[in-house]
A and B are shown apart, each in its own frame.
Chain A
Amino acid sequence: DAGVIQSPRHEVTEMGQEVTLRCKPISGHDYLFWYRQTMMRGLELLIYFNNNVPIDDSGMPEDRFSAKMPNASFSTLKIQPSEPRDSAVYFCASSLEGSGYEQYFGPGTRLTVT
């Protein structure tokens, strides 16, 4: 079975530009999570969805960040406008209710904002 798929794997953009990160969860999983990882702050939960509905977005740093999950197999995380401090690795993870809360991570998107 395919794992969590993320695209792009690397993104380099200029400050002020819009960035869209994409994620396809493991088929059948009903929870999807977006994380950000930096050296300074470690792994931070940004938002998570259950059955395509956002449940907790308290980790979203500010209004420049938004996330959607239009269907069970696709989610996006958008940053508009991007800033250099958004540079980080963004991970998507998914899990299945009843599976012991075990989350499986995608390969991540390394974002660099110049």
Chain B
Amino acid sequence: QKEVEQNSGPLSVPEGAIASLNCTYSDRGSQSFFWYRQYSGKSPELIMSIYSNGDKEDGRFTAQLNKASQYVSLLIRDSQPSDSATYLCAAIIQGYQKVTFGTGTKLQVIP
């Protein structure tokens, strides 16, 4: 079982819709979670980090964490074609620097 799991997609949403990206993790010791965006041929770019249960909002992005269910999600409101990319979920065990990445979900926003 992979430590961080994501649906590979592609997830297709129309422009202006809400895109919902999901991630589950297996290690209950995981305490910090991250969402990275990766455009084709580019490097991963950190877009959100979340450390406690609940929601964290940053502009059009909302990260949600439920430690009891070992579940992390990323919502993108008012999706734009420029949001089309692969989104990587990552988790880290508190006190350690080793980040485990999921394989990513490819998002396609259709104009």
Contact = CB atoms under 8 A, between A and B. Distances in A.
B80 interface: no
B103 interface: yes
Contact of A48 (B42, B98, B104): B98
Interface in B85-111: 88, 92, 97-104
Contacts of A33: 97, 99
Given A91-B43, A108-B43, A101 B99 contact: yes
Contacts, number: 46
Contacts of B34: 101-103
B32 interface: yes
- Size category of the A interface is 20 to 34
- Size category of the B interface is 10 to 19
Contact of A107 (B43, B51, B99, B102): B43
B101 A42 contact: yes
Contact of A50 (B32, B51, B97, B104): B97
B46 interface: yes
A108 B92 CA distance: 22
A45 to B, nearest CB: 6
Interface of B: 32, 34, 42-46, 49, 51, 88, 92, 97-104
B44 A43 contact: yes
A56 B98 contact: yes
A100 B32 contact: yes
A67 B98 CA distance: 17
Contacts of B43: 91, 105-108
Interface string A91-111: 100010100111111111000
A12 interface: no
Interface in A26-84: 31, 33, 42-43, 45, 48, 50, 55-56
Given A43-B104, A100-B51, A101-B32, 12 more contacts: A31-B97, A33-B97, A42-B101, A42-B104, A43-B88, A43-B101, A48-B97, A55-B97, A95-B97, A100-B32, A103-B99, A106-B43
